[in-house]
Amino acid sequence: MSERGRRAPAGRAGRLRLRRSLATALRGADLLERELRLLLDRERVERRAAQEAGRAWRERLAEADVWLVRGVLLGGERALAEAVPEDRASVEVRWDALMGVRHPAAMAWSAPVRSAAEPTPANTALAHAEDAYRAAVGAAAEHAAHEAAAELLAAEAARTRQRVRALRRHWIPRLESELSSVELALEEAEHEEAVRRRWAATHGGG
């Protein structure tokens, strides 16, 4: 039977069932709202952390670019090519879960390690550029992790908000309306029964 054609259950058994359903729906809405607050709080934390990491990323990158230009002017592009280590940076992301939402919770990155046989930067400016680029890469990875966490948490918060809205605006009011109808019908039936009993007592049962 469709929801549109569904009728409220009658009688005391129906009232009991509706009361239980309404209590369950109210508890469910309360729990979802608490989950929503937790998700939104964590999302705000991740957004702030992403903004800070993004600002650090841009600052370190701009600083590195300045040092790079100075280093190239001092030693030429060949000095730049010789200063690049063969090793590569690596990023490791640790995942966590909040309200069933898996999201990046921490990030660790390892800078390239120059072997003893590899040349070091030819001048101080290139050395400063290398340090600044390392910091920029770390900040960029941190920014990406926080941004990804915020997006995942925001998506789950939106789904949770929809479920709360469905309960608060549709399901709970409908249960309350059905319960009110059943209780009114029971009150009317009990009143009619009381009238019949009084009439029967007055007239000696007929």
- In a structure prediction context, what are the per-residue pLDDT tens digits for the chain, which is 206 residues long? 344 445 556 678 888 999 999 999 999 999 999 999 999 999 999 999 999 999 999 999 999 999 999 998 988 888 777 777 777 778 888 999 998 999 998 888 888 888 778 888 889 999 999 899 999 999 999 999 999 999 999 999 999 999 999 999 999 999 999 998 888 888 777 777 777 777 877 876 54
Residues 6+ apart with CB under 8 A from 152: 101, 102, 103
pTM of the predicted structure, to 2 decimals: 0.76
Cβ-contact 53, 139 below 8 angstroms: yes
How many beta carbons lie within 10 A of that of residue 99, not counting itself?
A: 15
| Cβ-based burial of 162 (10 A; exposed 0-12, middle 13-18, buried ≥19) | exposed
Please state, in angstroms and rounded to a whole number, the distance separating the CA atoms of residues 125 and 136: 16
Question: Strand, coil or helix: what is 27?
Answer: helix
